[in-house]
Amino acid sequence: MSGILKQGDLAAEGVVQAMQLAADELRLTTASSDQLAAAAASLARALAQFGEGASRNTRKSEAVARLEVAGKAIGAELRRRAFN
């Protein structure tokens, strides 16, 4: 193992960080707008990887649901800030 991260590794790390951010109310409310935008972009890219067939596969549909919940939390925070 060379220790060099590949593009897929970086994308997966971004999704993990976005999911953690969305799940932690304190981190979510204190993250910068740039951090929230980057997290939302990571989640959107991950969702784009799932095709329409994801709904037929229980494991994939659960993953999509978790990504969507995280995205909604981040989106809600971005909207909340827009009105403050």
Look at the chain and count its residues.
Answer: 84
CA 14 to chain centre: 7
Asked, for residue 4, whether it belongs to a domain, the answer is no
Asked, for residue 11, whether it belongs to a domain, the answer is no
Asked, for residue 9, whether it belongs to a domain, the answer is no
Tell me the per-residue pLDDT of 27-62, one tens digit each, with 9 for 90 and over.
Answer: 999 999 999 999 999 999 999 988 776 667 788 889
pLDDT exceeds 90 at position 84: no
* pLDDT band (50, 70, 90) for residue 3: low
Asked, for residue 3, whether it belongs to a domain, the answer is no
| Total of domains in the chain | 1
Determine the structural domain holding residue 40 and report its residue range. 16-82
- Report yes or no on whether pTM surpasses 0.85: no
